[in-house]
Structure 1
Amino acid sequence: MHDALSALQKIRTLYVQVPFCPERCHYCSLPVSLQTERAPAYLRALFREKKRLMEREDLSGLETLYVGGGTPTVLPLPHLQELLEELQKGLPPLAEITVESRPDTVTPEILHRLRSSGVTRLSFGMESVRSEHMRFLGRTMNVLEPVRFLEFVRNHFSGFVSMDFIAGGEGFSEDAFLQEAQSLLAEGLDHLSLYPLTVEEQTSLKGRLRRGEISAGTEDAAGRIWERIVRALSSMGWFRYEVANFSRSPDTVCRHNHLVWQGYDHAGIGAGAHQRIRSVRTINVRSLVSYEERLFSMKAPFEGRESLDQDERLLEILYTNARLSNGFPLSWLSSEDRSNAIGGADFSDLVEEGYLDSRAYSSGRVIFTEKGRDLLDGLMGEIWSRLRS
């Protein structure tokens, strides 16, 4: 595993945080601003951080660029174009460039501009297929029929298209979602993500929970609904290549996320952005004002910095790879090239209990079954405990 850790210490992905949105959704805990007039100052700071990153790190092996948010497409078109052009300057040819978006922020002109700017993948936060559920989530936009919206996007953009949804909460319909998911697969949607509703700190939903306006069991109920739905998605033909992510085929997975889950070093810039490079994890300040002030005063934008030792790095890589459909080599759990604090262990009992795929295990890989994925946190804790015993 020591050699694998060394091989993964290469920056393959760059994430860019664009914290502007048309509204703050009730479930969102990300740093966002509704004031797009602040974009010019923010972009100047962002480009300065990118310049520092390029001076400090080797980005010659970069494969993907992911522009997230927020909602980057809420930016005025000249600023959006400037953002995409400046981000790509000095970078090697990229295999994938993704931009996050909302359906109510794109026009034919924007879609054409994204395509001409080299964007290869659009990821739309659809969130729901029902108005009542959308209101619960805090989205004021009208619910769009996903299939019709996909047809609209396809008329103006030739790259991959992804849609994200949230399961659970008031107004959510399991049957309605599955019906749409079946139609989207038939219509050729490239990628679908489904996450269970979570009630995060510093969100409107958390405030409603504290005031007793929503049930204390909302998250647990959402988790149970989500478990049923992800099994149904697999049954209808969606390829579940990661715990919460599905693609139409192995060829349409999100390459950026896949590289991060495999454990490669990943860089991140922007307010609130995370990165991990050479076993050092940093988190940027969330405040746009603080972020801009730090960049313009030549200070580091970090608000948190953590150095991971080899065991911590190994645990992280094992966990993220465990989320993937192809798992990881069984040899990673051997004692070779490992510190004396960690030994080998036998996991055949987890195969017998149905948590690990038996064929994969016999051929030297650790791949969790659907049953195992439902209990992934606990099972990885058990595996780690045995490795350290």
Structure 2
Amino acid sequence: MTASDPVVPGQLRDLVWHPVGGVRLAAGAAGIRYQGRDDLLVMELAPGSRCAAVFTRNAFCAAPVRVAKTHLGQAMPRYLLINAGNANAGTGRRGLADAESSCAALAALGDCAAEEVLPFSTGVIGEHLPVDRIAAALPELLGRLDASAWPAAARAIMTTDRVPKLISRTFQIDGRTASITGIAKGAGMICPNMATMLAFIATDAAVAPGVLEACLGSAVTRSFNAITVDGDTSTNDACVLVATGACGNPEIRDGASPEYGVLQSAVDAVCVELATAIVRDAEGATKLVTVQIEGAADVDEARAVAYTIAHSPLVKTALFASDPNWGRILAAVGRAGVRDLDIDRIRIHLGEVLIVDDGGRAPDYTEEAGAAVMAEPEILIRVSLGRGPAEARVLTCDLSYDYVRINAEYRS
């Protein structure tokens, strides 16, 4: 695989990104909640495009999630319709009707069935979707669909995000150059339980539907399902992967083929970069933190320890303060629910600095060495459990004053 330089979030204007054959986009201002900015996005997919998606497992999943899952089971989509500022969640039967009405409005203009439209929403929970504003904005958006509108699309789906998130690559498959480009939004209410937040990724490679689903599931496990900001799983999470086939390669049908391996690597790379960009942009965050667990008996055990550390408010506030309070990390490991944990076998590192060994403070550890690591903008917390070969990695961030302020003022 060959890849372009990734587009750095927040610096979209001058960096290279790649249009995806068979995908056109348009963003516009519908006045859903925000004034003076785009908050509505239409993505048009060429006929014959394949689509796979994963959705939140929150029991109070939003109306657009329910409608999108139903529609995806009935037809391959021609359009994706995304709005920011209103989640259309906790809105009961009216919310479902509003989501369906939005799809119908776009389908009527786009000359397709309503089932060929997938709706997505993000924003405030519990408020009814202003369908009339969305419907009124659609004709203008459809009139200026453009394959080059990815940067505008990345901005239109933002809520509390500080920067847009756009990643783009190329890769070689069957002697052809294929493109893959993705956008995502998310900065708070971020904790994986399928995918996380909203993410829309498209490639012009030709991929069979079942293979596309497997590819997305694998990529999500390694990326969006391995991050957390605040431990809260949204009602609206969704991740969509589209394959238009415009590249002209023979359709990838075999999940064990070399071509599939190339595709999987490209999708993994885009998902990981988007997921990392979300954590970097987390509400109020000042540090990107990797929690690496090694020597676990199995992956579930490793993930349990990683998330216990990553979710700990005490650990996260120590990270914000650049305070090497290693006792907080030790306590999180101890309460992670690992059966028969032998604390004498645990080793904990901050970066390359060994802080815990043989059940207590490492003999050579100094507060100055720990503080130097904690002052860095990117921090590695590495824990070896000494129980087996399994490992897991989770990305998280610190917890600052601004996280409280942003969420306290969210609806004001």
- TM-score, normalising length from structure 2? 0.26
If each structure's helix is expressed as a fraction of its own residues, which one has the higher value? 1
- TM-score, normalising length from structure 1? 0.27
